[in-house]
Amino acid sequence: MQKEELQQAVNDLLEAELTAFLGYDPYARAGWNTGNSRNGAYFRKVDTQFGEIEIQVPRDRSGMFHQHTLPDYKQHSNVLESMIIKLYSKSVTTREIADLIEKMYGSHYSPAQVSNISKQMIPKVEAYHQHKLSDKFFCVYLDATYIPLRRETFEREAVYIAIGIKPNGHKEVIDYRIAPSENVENWTETLQDMKSRGLEQVEFFLSDGVVGIKTVLEQTYPKAHFQRCLVHVMRNICAKVRVDDRETIMNEFKQIHQQPNKEAAIKVLHAFYDKWNRAYSHVIRNLKEIEPDLLVFYSYPKQIRASIYSTNMIESFNNVIKRKAKPKAEFPTEQ
């Protein structure tokens, strides 16, 4: 979810809230002669982790409507952002949408009004995950991050995220979902959903290399190239070596993605093998097995290589989710 989508989601919630307050949909006959009606909107700017958004706060003619989507006199709402991130997660069910809406508005409206807000939001959430995708993306980043969620107790669960870069450079959050753990089965479902929604051609996939992901990519997008995230590879290496060696190994491994061309990078990589094979043969053996996936980004122009050797681009989205998804009242259940 990006700034534009967050803005639309907030506006949708505000419109649904006014509809529940009035008791009828826009232009519905049920609203005739009720003594109150819609009366335009005023604009309000709100700072979010995704940037400043401009929202339209609807008004009623009698002036009795007081919205509860946004807190009064605050320019930033962490709770609202976290609620919307949860609301628009791929894994959310209609029952869970209703539960989340009830948590947001239950203290302000009757059960019937809360139910009406839910009924308006359910198709919007479903449409978010079903909208047609562009048929071509240059690059798609795949990553999963863990957040605490409460079922009977708090447990860390995986948020699957797919972010794409179109040929014109536009960035788009293609989809995201929540599952108890990261595994290839959930990634398979994510990729198949992407294809069923119209995404036919991807030049380049970038991932941390979860077991089985490359095979699934070859089956779903056989013409796409696959780059393993070098930052994840480096972290995995550092976790398997002595603390005293980590800084040296990390600095030497970083040299691999800083070379002028692929040939030079291969020389640096093989020198890394030679230096550390005796001390950490198991690490070097594993590294050699994935070597074909380490230097694919060198096949692309130098200007974009810094953006396609790791999944760091997706980290800002992950960090927003992690900041919002603390074990507080915002996320009491899987909703």
pLDDT of residue 224: 96
pLDDT of residue 289: 95
pLDDT of residue 333: 40
Class of domain 133-227+311-335: alpha beta
Tens digits of residue pLDDT in 54-74? 888 888 888 888 887 776 655
pLDDT of residue 198: 95
140: left (phi over 0), alpha (psi -120 to 50) or beta: beta
Low-confidence ranges of the chain (pLDDT < 70): 1-2, 27-35, 49-50, 71-83, 85-86, 88-92, 107, 149-154, 315-335
pLDDT of residue 119: 79
| pTM tops 0.75, yes or no | no
Q: Are 39 and 61 in contact (CB under 8 A)?
A: yes
